[in-house]
Amino acid sequence: MASLADDTVIEPTGPDSFRAKLREEWSVWGANGGYLATMALRAAGAVAPDGSRPASVSCQFAGVPAFDEVDISVERVRATRRASALRVRMTQYGKPVLDAHVWAVSSALPGPDRAWMAPAELAPPEELTELNELVVRDGIPVLPIWVHCYEVRLTEWQQGEWTPQQGVPTVLGWMRMREPLPSGADAWLAAGRVAFAADIAQFPAVVQAFDTEELTFIAPSMDLYVSFHGESDAEWLLLEAEGTGAGGGLLGARARIWSPDGRLLGTGAQQMLFRDVGRGWR
């Protein structure tokens, strides 16, 4: 199985510069955005002051890279005792792939600790059917990334043949990596898992608002923003996502990622570019 930890390893090539290899298992319509964001976070973490943890990442996806080596550079934009701003650039063959801005903060940063919202209630993952089984049952192609990289169990689409929730662009469910993060994974890799979860939840939410015959499009990510609120080494993460609007060739969504014990780990938002591929999903 594909490993988020192993497949986002960055190798130093000079001061604040790195090289990585993109693995084809993480492909959807190209390299998955959350996968690329994890590499950006790990590069930022390698340059951030010791004892820092990620506060947020904002990515712009500038190109569709080949599954080959990429070059990554990190620029220190600003640093104080409390917080650091870092800019991460990923290129391939001299062309831009990703531009990310990362805030890092001191792990000892003081402040209030309060929870203002609770996750939705849903059945535990053991009581839900895996997405792969449902798509095979209903004659829909299984994406390789579902097989190699992660497992999803959604509350939608559990009973009978899939029927999108016309006008209700939401999803709720569980996600886990097929190859868990190693024990004691650092805060930057752990944040990458949250960013990955936020990325994969948002397009499926948008899809719920369309009838089956309307699903003749894909929607590659233009950007991804994730703010980080906590950490968890739990196997499963709870996903909530909802579409925020569709128009002018754009599709927007947002997501919340929770630990199984109800702690909010991250919130994300995304803008996607409509692309009609002229065929249905079946």
Chain segment 49-58, per-residue pLDDT in tens: 999 999 999 9
In a domain, 115, yes or no: no
Cα 77 to Cα 66: distance, rounded to the nearest angstrom: 29
Asked if the model's pLDDT at residue 8 lies above 60, the reply is yes
CA distance 239 to 35: 17
Q: How many domains does the chain have?
A: 1
**Bridge partners, residue 268, by sequence:** 226, 255
- The reported pTM is 0.95
DSSP state of 31: B
DSSP 144: H
Whether residue 34 is contained in a domain is answered as yes
* Contact yes or no for 191/229 (Cβ under 8 A): no
Which pair of tokens denotes residue 246? Answer: 């569709």
CA distance 147 to 25: 9
Instruction: Name the helix (H) or strand (E) containing 202.
Output: helix 187-207
Residue 128 is part of a domain; what is its CATH number?
2.40.160.210
List the structure tokens of 78.
């600003």
Backbone phi, psi, residue 245, to 5° = 170, 150
Predicted confidence (pLDDT) per residue in 70-115, tens digit: 999 999 999 998 999 999 999 999 999 999 999 999 988 888 888 8
Residue 244: pLDDT over 90: yes
Q: Is residue 111 part of a domain?
A: no
Note whether residue 282 is domain-resident.
no
pLDDT recorded at residue 160: 66
What's the Cα-to-Cα distance from 52 to each of 90, 93, 122, rounded to whole Å? 22, 31, 34
Return the higher-pLDDT residue of 207 and 163: 207
Residues 263-276 have a mean pLDDT of 97
CB 52, CB 81: distance < 8 Å: no
Confidence of residue 139 (pLDDT cuts 50, 70, 90): confident
Gap between the Cα atoms of 222 and 86, Å rounded = 20
Mean pLDDT of 20-36: 96
Give pLDDT tens digits for 147-192. Answer: 999 999 998 777 666 666 667 899 999 999 999 999 999 999 999 9
- E strand or H helix at 54, and its extent? strand 52-61
pLDDT band at 20 (very low <50, low <70, confident <90, very high): very high
Residue 157 in tokens: 């689409």
Q: Is residue 112 part of a domain?
A: no
Residue range 130-157: average pLDDT? 89
In a domain, 188, yes or no: yes
Query: pLDDT: is 56 or 208 the higher one?
Result: 56
User: Is 119 inside any structural domain?
Assistant: no
What does the pLDDT read at residue 168? 85
Residue 38 domain boundaries:
4-106+124-276
Token pair, residue 6, equals: 């192993």
**Cα 57 to Cα 263: distance, rounded to the nearest angstrom:** 20
Mean pLDDT within 21-29:
96
Flag whether 30 is in a domain: yes
Q: Is 104 helix (H, G, I), strand (E, B) or coil?
A: strand
C-alpha dihedral sign at 223, 228, 231, 236: negative
**% of the chain residues with pLDDT over 70:** 96
Report the distance separating Cα 155 and Cα 74, nearest Å: 40
